[in-house]
Structures are given as structure tokens and as C-alpha cells.
């Protein structure tokens, strides 16, 4: 069984003047290359271009589906201040647009003094060591997409296939669980660390959304965009808790928000995302057994 390594699978070749090349790894396949994985590649390019140590935010438009092959990244500085850089990054494949993003990078914490507070509270859920892993709960689903092999994924609640198909809509459209990346759980590079957070923020809005429906949904919801706020580093946290909800689907779009917390209950990242509904069924049941 092969698994990806986020640092290796988002590595860049620098070609000069803001031009980078990466090769998208099939280990991150879920309806094509996972959107969070693409965001992680974009973040690597932003970090390599700016030289600043701290990702502050990323706003990404997903423009086309890429193959698991090389992609080109063109990065330009939109504005460079003393403490912060605004950067644009475009990912293309054979000239076709894959995604386009804006990002803010900021200086070391000591470069930006300021008032600080933290009133965010993590959801009260069991610890990962007290939960079963997705590979144990649904071994067939776990094996179906290579993407899931990159994690030890422990949903905070679970339904059997029969319970899932018989569920009643009406519970909150929420998905929660603990994730630890494999084979390498943490990364020292702050831009890889931010990519780790982006993967989780992007992935679970769909599993949250399908909670609002019953049975096997006859549609899918590819992401149109992802906008992330990075609050603090998580380089020391092997386990990350994601908390996603998708409360509104209307007129063909589903919107929702996600948060990622470290094992000490500190808010690491927040995101909001919009999906555009397509009237074709998803390739298979996603790991949406979470009951919140």
C-alpha cells in the first residue's frame, strides 16, 4: 500500500522569475486531485516566492480538473510591504487553467506586534485515542480512494452503511473527526504545515453537506473556491481536529465553513467554501458516516 507524503508530493522545482513546476501525485486522488492538495501546492509556491515565514490567508478559485501530471505555477507579488506581501499564484497544466489564488504572507511574529486574544472554543469531542479509525470502520471505502491512505482518520461518530442509507435529514449538516497525516504527521516548514491545514479545511464540506439529505445523494458538489484564514502554526500537533458544516444548499450552490483545531483545543485555521452542484452521482459513497 502506497501513501503520499505531503512535503514530497507538494515539492516544487524552481524555474526562475516566479515560475515553478510540481507534479501532482495520484496519492491525493478524490474526484481527481483533492482541492486541498492543490491549495497545498499553491501555498508551497507562495512560500517559495515570498520568503516570508508565515501564511496569513489564501483565497483560491478552482478553474479546471487537472491530471496527475506536471503543473506549472506562476507567482507574482501584487504588493510587497515591510510586514506583509500579497501574492497571486496561477496553476496551469499544458496551458489550461487549474486554479488561481491570492494569498497574504506575513513576517515573523516578532515583526508584527499587536494585541492578542483567543475566545474560540473547540468542540467537545472524544480524543483520537478513544475513537476507531476509518480504515477499521469501513475498510472497503478506505481502500477505494488512495486519498484516504494518507491519514489515520478517526471520525467522532459513525453510522453503518444500513444506518447511513436509512438516515433522516434534519440533523445538522456537520462532519467532525481527528486526522493524522501518514507517513509523516508534522512538518517544520510553515508552508507545508499550512498545506496540511488546507487539505483538511477543503475536504470535509461535502461529507457535511450530504448529512442534510437521505439515502445516496444523486448529485455531487465540486468546490468552486476555498478561502482560508491561518491563525497560528500547528507544526507541533500530530493530530488535528476538523469541524465542518454546510448549512445551506440553494439554487444549485452549497455553502459552508470549516475549522481546524490542534490537540490542545487551539484554533489553527478557518475556511469558507462554495460548491456548485452537478446532477450526476458521486463515484461512490464518501466517508460521510460522521454524525457530528
Binding site for other proteins (CB under 8 A): 54, 56-57, 59, 61, 63-64, 78-79, 83-84, 86, 88, 97, 100, 102, 104, 106, 109, 112-120, 169-170, 172-173, 209, 212-213, 217, 219, 224-225, 227, 229, 231-232, 247-255, 257, 267, 270, 272-274, 276-277, 279
Q: Give me the torsion for CA of 217, 26, 203, 206, rounded to 10°.
A: -10
d(CA 290, CA 24): 29
Least Å distance, CB 190 to other proteins, is 12
Least Å distance, CB 78 to other proteins, is 6
Nearer of residues 145 and 219 to other proteins, judged by Cβ: 219
Nearer of residues 48 and 257 to other proteins, judged by Cβ: 257
Nearer of residues 60 and 138 to other proteins, judged by Cβ: 60
Nearer of residues 76 and 160 to other proteins, judged by Cβ: 76
Least Å distance, CB 280 to other proteins, is 11
Least Å distance, CB 62 to other proteins, is 9
Grid cell of 65 as nine digits: 480538473
Q: Dihedral of CA 180/182/186/192: which sign?
A: negative
DSSP-based three-state secondary structure for 67 = coil
Nearer of residues 22 and 201 to other proteins, judged by Cβ: 201
Grid cell of 106 as nine digits: 506575513
Geometric angle at alpha carbon 174, from 126 and 253, rounded to 5°: 160
290 C-beta neighbours (distance < 10 Å), count: 21
Nearer of residues 43 and 173 to other proteins, judged by Cβ: 173
d(CA 256, CA 277): 13
Least Å distance, CB 289 to other proteins, is 18
Neighbouring residues of 230: CB distance < 8 A, sequence distance ≥ 6: 54, 55, 56, 57, 58, 194, 197, 268, 269
Least Å distance, CB 272 to other proteins, is 6
Amino acid at each position: 500500500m502506497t501513501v503520499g507524503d505531503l512535503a514530497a508530493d507538494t515539492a516544487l522545482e524552481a524555474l526562475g522569475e516566479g515560475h515553478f513546476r510540481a507534479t501532482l501525485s495520484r496519492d491525493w486522488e478524490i474526484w481527481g486531485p483533492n482541492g486541498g492538495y492543490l491549495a497545498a501546492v499553491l501555498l508551497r509556491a507562495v512560500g517559495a516566492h515570498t520568503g516570508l515565514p508565515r501564511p496569513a490567508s489564501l483565497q483560491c478559485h478552482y478553474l479546471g480538473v487537472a491530471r496527475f501530471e506536471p503543473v506549472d505555477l506562476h507567482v507574482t507579488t501584487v504588493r510587497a510591504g515591510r510586514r506583509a506581501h500579497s501574492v497571486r499564484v496561477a496553476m496551469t497544466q499544458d496551458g489550461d487553467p487549474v486554479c488561481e489564488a491570492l494569498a497574504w504572507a506575513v513576517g515573523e511574529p516578532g515583526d508584527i506586534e499587536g494585541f492578542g486574544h483567543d475566545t474560540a472554543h473547540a468542540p467537545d469531542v472524544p480524543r483520537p485515542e478513544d475513537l476507531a479509525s476509518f480504515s477499521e470502520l469501513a475498510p472497503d471505502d478506505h481502500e477505494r480512494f488512495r486519498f484516504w491512505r494518507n491519514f489515520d482518520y478517526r471520525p467522532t461518530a459513525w453510522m453503518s452503511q444500513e444506518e447511513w442509507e436509512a438516515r433522516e435529514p434534519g440533523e445538522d449538516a456537520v462532519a467532525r473527526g481527528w486526522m493524522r497525516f501518514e507517513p509523516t504527521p508534522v512538518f517544520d516548514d510553515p508552508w507545508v504545515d499550512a498545506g496540511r491545514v488546507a487539505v483538511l479545511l477543503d475536504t470535509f464540506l461535502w461529507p457535511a453537506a450530504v448529512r442534510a439529505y437521505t439515502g445516496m445523494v444523486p448529485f455531487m458538489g465540486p468546490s468552486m473556491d476555498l478561502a482560508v484564514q491561518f491563525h497560528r502554526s500547528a507544526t507541533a500537533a500530530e493530530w488535528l481536529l476538523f469541524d465542518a458544516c454546510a448549512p445551506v444548499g440553494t439554487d444549485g450552490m452549497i455553502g459552508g465553513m470549516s475549522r481546524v483545531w490542534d490537540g490542545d483545543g487551539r484554533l489553527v485555521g478557518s475556511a469558507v467554501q462554495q460548491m456548485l452542484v452537478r446532477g450526476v452521482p458521486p463515484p461512490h459513497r464518501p466517508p460521510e458516516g460522521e454524525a457530528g
